[in-house]
Amino acid sequence: MVSETVGLENSSDFAYIPDTVDRIVLQSALNILSEEEREIVLLYAVSGMKHREIASNLRILLSTGISKYRRVLKKLRLHLKKQGVDLAYK
């Protein structure tokens, strides 16, 4: 596992997100993901790592990392849609 995710997962209160509802939605969505899925999405979206860096750190092929990331996004969108969350970008 990548040491960078320890800090991300331990800061599960997401204090850097000002809106309480947004924090709850994020926590709920991340709870449906496997550990690896959470790691991939948090490293990319929160830490700002590039797909190549994530793949290297997780010891997976770049194409596999990108594929998993896209599947995670699809899984999250579907989950949020089922929860009635408006996915329209502001």
Domain ranges for the chain: 4-81
pTM (2 d.p.): 0.74
Q: Which of 74, 79, 77, 75 is nearest to 88 (CA)?
A: 77
Q: Which of 32, 35, 72, 39 is nearest to 53 (CA)?
A: 39
- pLDDT on residue 8: 54
Mean pLDDT for the chain overall: 82
In percent, the amount of the chain with pLDDT more than 70 equals: 82
pLDDT band at 75 (very low <50, low <70, confident <90, very high): very high
User: 47 or 86: which carries more pLDDT confidence?
Assistant: 47
Task: Indicate the class that CATH gives domain 4-81.
Answer: mainly alpha
